[in-house]
Amino acid sequence: RWADAMLIAPLSCNTMSKMANAACDNLLLATYLSATCPVILAPAMDEDMWMHPATQYNLARLESFGCINLSVQYGELASGLVGQGRMAEPEEIISYLESFFAQQASLKGKKALVTAGPTYEAIDPVRFIGNHSSGKMGIAIANELKQRGAEVTLVTGPIHLETNGIRRISVTSAEQMYTSCLAEPYDIAVMAAAVADYTPAEVAGQKIKKTGEELTLTLRKTKDILAALGQKKEQGQVLVGFALETNNEKESALKKLAEKNADMIVLNSLQDNGAGFGHDTNKATFYLKNGEEKSFALKTKKALAKDIVDTITNLLL
């Protein structure tokens, strides 16, 4: 646990396969499976091995675990052939490590507040109003902020994902999340949770019985966490909100940006396949207070978290 990073160079096709499938039959693999730090891979193999679908599958799986891939280059291979599969040059690996470690300290001393997951609004002791948020996007952002040196507090709704040693406050309802967030000091706040907009006006003390053909619930608006933080925002703080839309996406995101006094809105659309709740991937457009707009193709939520934190870091400059 003392290491700041683990570099595997060269990474053979055989070792890559074992890592992707959690084999542990030698010292290297035992070290990899015990590593709590970022793992950086520098693959090296023959071109045909590199291009094989099984190899690409294994690499994608390792990337989904959070491993960083220093992709192969074109050049002379050990087999005598020339093609894709040559390990990145040592000078390039060293250059990457220098940039990597510089980035790790880029947010040192900053306090970050992140929300993730859904909220559940009780109807009675058994039932609730909720949504399908998994919390994966918020946790990816929290991990990226922590990796860059920030002191992170993660406020989560009812989710069952590991948070890698990040300080975590677990809540259930929108009211609890509101109270927790407003009590936390921050330099960076990323409101990635899918907070309920409405909650039952009254919660039944006992389970509601099935007594008629219809049941009417009266709902009241929940407190707006992003707006409350926006009202209190001070110079030097960065506030980021999320918007998941089904129509009028850009218009809704820009309206939210202005009304909540946010510095950036991350827009997701349910019209995009592979984006939104439950997926390991996401597609987004960033709308910034300065009028800038950035669109990102479908990618892993971990990769998108890097884009989000890169943008936040630039806003802090």
Q: Are strands 238-245 and 264-269 parallel, antiparallel or unpaired?
A: parallel
Highest mean pLDDT among 141-145, 171-175, 206-210: 171-175
Residue 294 confidence class, pLDDT cut points 50, 70, 90: very high
Q: How many helices (H) and strands (E) does the chain have?
A: 10, 17
Q: What is the mean pLDDT of the chain?
A: 93
Res. 15: pLDDT tops 90: yes
The predicted pLDDT at position 161 comes to 86
- Measure the CA dihedral 147/149/150/152, to 10°: 50
56-62 long-range contacts (CB < 8 A, ≥24 apart) are 57/20, 58/16, 58/17, 58/19, 58/20, 58/21, 59/16, 59/20, 61/20, 62/16, 62/19, 62/20
What tokens appear for 273 in the block?
């396949």
> In whole angstroms, how far apart are CA 204 and each of 107, 127, 218, 262?
46, 10, 12, 36
Q: Are strands 68-69 and 151-156 parallel, antiparallel or unpaired?
A: unpaired
The predicted pLDDT at position 7 comes to 97
The predicted pLDDT at position 101 comes to 86
DSSP letter for 263, please: S
The predicted pLDDT at position 156 comes to 97
Average pLDDT for 93-116: 90
What are the backbone angles phi and psi of residue 67, rounded to the nearest 5°? -70, 145
Average pLDDT for 74-83: 90
Task: Point out which residues pair with 265 in neighbouring strands.
Answer: 241, 287
Res. 25: pLDDT tops 80: yes
**Strand boundaries in 38-99, DSSP class E:** 39-43, 68-69, 73-76, 82-86
Residue 207 confidence class, pLDDT cut points 50, 70, 90: very high
Residue 279 confidence class, pLDDT cut points 50, 70, 90: confident
pLDDT digits (tens, 9 = 90+) for 109-127: 999 999 999 999 999 999 9
**Strand boundaries in the chain, DSSP class E:** 6-11, 39-43, 68-69, 73-76, 82-86, 111-116, 121-122, 128-129, 151-156, 167-170, 188-191, 198-200, 219-221, 238-245, 264-269, 281-288, 293-300
Average pLDDT for 32-41: 92
Res. 160: pLDDT tops 90: no
Res. 280: pLDDT tops 80: yes
DSSP letter for 135, please: S
User: Of 111, 184, 190, which is closest to residue 148 (Cα–Cα)?
Assistant: 111
Residues designated as active site: 131
Q: What domains can be seen in the chain, in order of their start residue?
A: 6-104 (3.40.50.1950), 111-316 (3.40.50.10300)
What span, in angstroms and rounded, lies between the C-alpha atoms of 96 and 297?
Answer: 24
Res. 272: pLDDT tops 80: no
Residue 5 confidence class, pLDDT cut points 50, 70, 90: very high
Res. 103: pLDDT tops 80: no
What span, in angstroms and rounded, lies between the C-alpha atoms of 48 and 100?
Answer: 30
